[in-house]
Amino acid sequence: MGSASTTTPLPSSPIVSINPATGQPLGEVPDMGADEVRKVVASARAAQQAWGQLSIEARSRRVLRFAEVLMTRAEEVIDLLVREGGKTRLEALGMEVVLVADLVRYFTKHAAEMLAPVPVPLHLMKHRASYLHFTPRGVVGVIAPWNFPFSIPIGETMMALIAGNAVVLKPSEVTPLIAAKAREIYLAADLPPELFQIVTGRGGTGAALIDAGIDFCVFTGSVATGKKVAAACGERLIPCTLELGGKAPAVVCHDADLDRAAQAITWGGFANSGQVCASVERVYAVGSVHDQLVERIVREAKSLRQGDASAGGEVDVGAMAWDRQVDNVEKLVDAAVAAGAKVETGGKRKPGPGLFYEPTVLSGCRQDMDVMRKEIFGPVIPIMRVESEDEAVKLANDSHLGLLAYVFTRDRERGRRLAERIEAGTVMVNDVLNTYACPETPWGGVKQSGIGRTHSILGLRDMCETKHVNHDRVSLGREVWWYPYKDGTFKALLRGARLLFGKRPWQR
Q: What residues contact 291, with CB distance under 8 A and at least 6 apart?
A: none
168 near 214, Cβ under 8 Å?
Answer: yes
Sheet containing 280-286, strands listed edge to edge, beginning at the edge strand earlier in sequence: 342-345, 360-363, 380-386, 280-286, 248-252, 404-408, 426-429
Q: How far apart are CA 376 and CA 373, in angstroms?
A: 9
277 in active site: yes
Cis peptide before 382 (omega within 30 of 0): no
Q: How far apart are CA 178 and CA 443, in angstroms?
A: 23
Amino acid occupying residue 129: A
Q: What residues contact 359, with CB distance under 8 A and at least 6 apart?
A: 269, 270, 301, 304, 306, 317, 345, 346, 379
Q: Which position among 233, 253, 277, 464 bears the catalytic label?
A: 277
Question: Which of these, 191, 196, 216, lies nearest to 58 by C-alpha position?
Answer: 191
CA angle, corner 437, sides to 165 and 354, nearest 5?
A: 100
12 near 33, Cβ under 8 Å?
Answer: yes
Question: Which of these, 47, 58, 63, lies nearest to 155 by C-alpha position?
Answer: 63
- CA 114 to chain CA centroid, Å, is 20
Instruction: Write a three-state SS string for 200-218.
Output: CCCHHHHHHHHHCCCCEEE
- Cα-Cα-Cα-Cα torsion 3, 33, 138, 156, nearest 10 degrees, comes to -150
The DSSP element (H or E) to which 167 belongs, if any, is strand 166-170
Which ranges of 163-270 does DSSP label H, i.e. alpha helix? 176-188, 203-211, 223-236, 258-270
Q: Coil, strand, or helix at residue 443?
A: strand
Q: Which position among 96, 243, 344, 358 bears the catalytic label?
A: 243
Q: How far apart are CA 100 and CA 508, in angstroms?
A: 62
Beta bridge partners of 186: none
243 in active site: yes
Q: How many Cβ atoms are within 10 Å of 440's Cβ, its own excluded?
A: 13
Answer left, alpha or beta for residue 31, where phi above 0 means left and psi between -120 and 50 means alpha. Answer: beta
The conformation of residue 93, written as its DSSP 8-state character, comes to I
The DSSP element (H or E) to which 383 belongs, if any, is strand 380-386
Residue numbers annotated as active site: 243, 277
